[in-house]
């Protein structure tokens, strides 16, 4: 970036400043303190909470002092990723910004436009003397990328506005008006075992590893609508088929990598009384079934293989193995319901991702991520999992609960943003929900408990490749978004 572009576009100046200050998740204190100093130097009211989240208030400009106040919100932390072998320290080194045509990116690292661009817009507004705006309450949170800890801890009772503009969306001209809530669950199934030596006719048994591969996986919220294969579910079907056809016991299971990722590879070690050729013949049938079922999704390369496995002393009892496989077959997975309120898109309302299977000591643990934009439906899906656990004598644990932001058909911000976008750029914006979590959900729940009805909307410029070294910010989109934000605030300010 050059100084000339920064002088013309104040938000780019502040974005470059932000990129010079370390702000990795859970290590945002230096940037948080910078914001306090920024506000104090401009004689703005500022509050820094124990976590490091910031609230800065600025009065409305002349003639707009009594207009409805507006909350502008984003997060200050970034996901720090760098290229393998790159000599770069996120705790002290400034990001090296590179402009190539319309794209702004960082050399060898993630850019942090998610969500540094929101903070840049906020600072440009707070620093300005000539941009008309109503009273502003700027809220900048920490730890959004690692569980939204800053928003969770933030005291919303100190906020006075009923208009809440979040700037953590990443597609210009797409206005987000709802998000899903979520909850993680863990089903702990006791691993009842018996000695291998106790199994009759053990001379014909062999230890083999059955593995499902070749699936695409993806984000369990944003990409659940693509109906991609879930390797844990496919593995359960294969094991069920093998157990019906051959004498077969389970030694261990392992599948998936994270609760928010659709699993793309899973495996089980089995003790099976069958020749390898017999097993391969059976697996070939399953490969054909899966490729046919998933032909419109990601089934072209799905594969199920058998390989030698290390010997083990114990296997799951027949009763326990049946319970584990049955639970894996029955546990909810994929889309549970579609949203019928936001008709401009195909939006998943509720889903469950059967994310991971782990053999952990004396337990088999199933990990799930449940999402819904309707709280009662999230509870119902979790209850289904809990009832299944009760039926097989397993224990349940729940964690990471965060609330949904439900669609508000009476929003004033939505039509204002749509009308303003059309007037500025002569094209229609899109109104969508997102089947993933935003801080809006946490703030909406806080205001609900305070008995306050809020009007939320989330928007932002086009950011691609977030959380990777390929992250880029579209400069044209950033300018359009800046113009839109200023014009919306001007329209609200004229309500004085």
Q: What pLDDT, in 10s, does the model give residues 369-389?
A: 999 999 999 999 999 999 999
In the chain, what is the greatest distance between 2 CA atoms, to the nearest angstrom? 90
The dihedral region occupied by 48, where left means phi > 0, alpha psi between -120 and 50, and beta the remainder, is: beta
Lookup result for tokens 């594969």: 303
pLDDT at 312 over 80: yes
The residues facing 308 across adjacent strands are: 208
Instruction: Give the integer Cα–Cα distance in Å for 409 and 404.
Output: 15
Residues 433 and 411: their CA atoms lie apart, in Å, by: 14
Question: Are 173 and 214 part of one and the same domain?
Answer: no
Q: Report the CATH number that the domain containing residue 173 is assigned in CATH.
A: 3.40.630.10
User: What pLDDT is attached to residue 2?
Assistant: 41
User: How high is the pLDDT of residue 222?
Assistant: 86
Give the per-residue pLDDT at 344: 83
Distance in angstroms (rounded) separating the CA atoms of residues 419 and 442: 28
Domain boundary among 373, 401, 429: 401
More confident residue, 457 or 260: 457
Active site residues: 77, 144
CB 126 within 8 A of CB 44: yes
Percent with pLDDT over 70 in the chain: 98
And the tokens for 295? Answer: 């032909």
Which residues, at least 6 apart from 444, have a Cβ–Cβ distance to it below 8 Å?
A: 403, 404, 405, 406, 454, 456
Question: Is the pTM here over 0.75, yes or no?
Answer: yes
CA distance 301 to 292: 11
Q: Is 430 found in the same domain as 356?
A: no
Structure confidence at residue 200 (pLDDT): 65
Both 470 and 448 in one domain: the answer is yes
Question: What is the spatial distance between Cα 413 and Cα 426, in angstroms, rounded to a whole number?
Answer: 19
Give yes or no for a contact between 253 and 359, defined as CB atoms under 8 angstroms apart: yes
Peptide linkage before 115 cis (omega within 30 of 0): yes
Whether residue 110 is found in the same domain as residue 245: no
Whether 271 and 297 share a structural domain: yes
Q: Report pLDDT for 354.
A: 98
pLDDT at 201: 66
Report whether 139 contacts 429 (CB < 8 A).
no
pLDDT at 146: 87
Position 199 scores a pLDDT of 84
| The domain boundary residue, chosen from 358, 374, 401 | 401
pLDDT in tens, 318-331: 999 999 999 999 99
Q: How does pLDDT run across 242-261, given as a tens digit for each residue?
A: 999 999 999 999 999 988 89
For 17-51, write each residue's pLDDT tens digit: 999 999 999 999 999 999 999 999 999 999 999 99
Q: Are residues 192 and 152 in the same domain?
A: no
Looking at the structure, tell me whether residues 470 and 348 fall in a common domain: no
- 346 and 242 part of one domain: yes
3-state secondary structure the chain: CCHHHHHHCHHHHHHHHHHCCCCECCCCHHHHHHHHHHHHHCCCEEEECCCCCEEEEECCCCCCCCCCCEEEEEECCECCCECCCCCCCCCCCCCCEEEECCEEEECCECCCHHHHHHHHHHHHHHHCCCCCCCCEEEEEECCHHHCCHHHHHCCHHHCCCCEEEECCCCCCCEEEEEECEEEEEEEEEECCEEEHHHCCCHHHCEEEEEEEECCCCEECCCCHHHCCCCHHHHHHHHHHHHHHHCCEEEEEEEECCCCCEECCCEEEEEEECCCHHHHHHHHHHHHHHHHHHCCCCCHHHCEEEEEECCCCCEEECHHHHHHHHHHHHHCCCEEEEECCCCCCCCCEEEEEEEEEEEEECCEEEEEEEEEECCHHHHHHHHHHHHHHHHHHCCEEEEEEEECCECCCCCCCHHHHHHHHHHHHHCCCCEEEEECCCCHHHHHHHHHHHCCCCCEEEECCCCEECCCCCCCEEEHHHHHHHHHHHHHHHHHHHCCC
458 and 395 together in one domain: no
Q: Supply the angle between the helices 231-245 and 276-293 in degrees, to the nearest 10.
A: 140
Report pLDDT for 120. 98
Q: What confidence score (pLDDT) does residue 488 get?
A: 98
- The 10s digit of each residue's pLDDT in 466-486 is 989 999 999 999 999 999 999
Q: How confident is the model at residue 202, as a pLDDT?
A: 63
Which residue range is the domain that position 338 belongs to?
Answer: 183-401
Confidence of residue 55 (pLDDT cuts 50, 70, 90): very high
Question: Do 219 and 331 belong together in one domain?
Answer: yes
What is the rounded CA–CA span in Å between residue 55 and residue 65?
Answer: 19
Residue 362 has pLDDT above 50, yes or no: yes
Check residue 7 and give its pLDDT: 47
More confidently predicted of 362 and 146: 362
Q: Is the pLDDT of residue 494 over 60?
A: yes
From CA 414, how far away is CA 409, in angstroms rounded?
9
Domain C-terminal end among 366, 401, 436: 401
Same domain, 266 and 188: yes
* Domains held by the chain: number: 2
Whether residues 163 and 206 fall in one domain: no
CATH number, residue 241: 3.30.70.360
Is pLDDT of 5 > 60? no
pLDDT at 4 over 50: no
Q: 377, 280, 297: which is closest to 332 by C-alpha? A: 377
């Amino acid at each position: 970036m050059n100084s000339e572009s920064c002088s013309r576009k104040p938000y780019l100046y502040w974005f470059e400043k932000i990129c010079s200050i370390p702000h990795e998740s859970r290590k945002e204190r230096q940037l948080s303190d910078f914001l306090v100093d920024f506000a104090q130097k401009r004689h703005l009211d500022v509050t820094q909470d124990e976590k490091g989240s910031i609230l800065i208030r600025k009065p409305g400009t002349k003639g707009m002092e009594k207009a409805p106040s507006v909350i502008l919100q984003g997060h200050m932390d970034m996901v720090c990723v760098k290229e393998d072998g790159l000599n770069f320290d996120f705790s002290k080194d400034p990001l090296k910004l590179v402009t190539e045509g319309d794209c702004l990116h960082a050399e060898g690292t993630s850019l942090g436009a998610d969500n540094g661009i929101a903070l840049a817009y906020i600072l440009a507004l707070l620093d300005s003397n000539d941009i008309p705006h109503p009273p502003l309450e700027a809220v900048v949170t920490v730890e959004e990328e690692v569980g939204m800890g800053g928003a969770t801890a933030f005291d919303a009772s100190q906020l006075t506005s009923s208009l809440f503009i979040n700037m953590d969306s990443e597609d210009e001209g797409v206005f987000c008006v709802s998000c899903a809530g979520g909850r993680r669950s863990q089903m702990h199934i006791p691993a009842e075992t018996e000695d291998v030596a106790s199994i009759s006719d053990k001379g014909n048994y062999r230890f083999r590893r059955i593995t499902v591969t070749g699936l695409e996986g993806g984000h369990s919220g944003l990409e659940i609508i693509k109906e991609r294969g879930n390797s844990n579910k496919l593995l359960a079907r294969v094991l069920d088929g093998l157990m019906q056809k051959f004498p077969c016991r389970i030694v261990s299971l392992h599948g998936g990598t994270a609760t928010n990722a659709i699993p793309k590879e899973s495996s089980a070690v089995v003790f099976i009384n069958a020749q390898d050729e017999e097993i391969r013949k059976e697996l070939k049938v399953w490969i054909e079934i899966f490729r046919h079922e998933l032909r419109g999704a990601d089934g072209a390369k799905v594969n199920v293989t058998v390989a030698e496995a290390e010997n083990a002393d114990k296997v799951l009892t027949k009763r326990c193995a049946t319970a584990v496989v049955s639970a894996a077959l029955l546990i909810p997975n994929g889309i549970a319901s579609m949203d019928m309120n936001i008709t401009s898109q195909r939006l998943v309302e509720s889903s469950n991702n059967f994310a991971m299977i782990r053999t952990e000591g004396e337990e088999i643990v199933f990990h799930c991520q449940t999402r819904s934009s309707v709280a009662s439906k999230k509870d119902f899906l979790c209850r289904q999992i809990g009832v299944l656990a009760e039926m097989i004598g397993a224990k349940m644990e729940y964690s990471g609960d965060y609330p949904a932001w439900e669609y508000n058909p009476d929003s004033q911000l939505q039509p204002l943003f749509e009308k303003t976008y059309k007037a500025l750029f002569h094209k229609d914006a899109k109104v969508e929900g997102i089947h993933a979590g935003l801080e809006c959900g946490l703030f909406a729940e806080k205001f609900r408990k305070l008995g306050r009805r809020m009007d939320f909307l989330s928007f932002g410029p086009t950011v691609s490749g977030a959380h990777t070294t390929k992250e880029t910010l579209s400069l044209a989109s950033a300018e359009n978004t800046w113009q839109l934000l200023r014009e919306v605030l001007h329209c609200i300010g004229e309500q004085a």
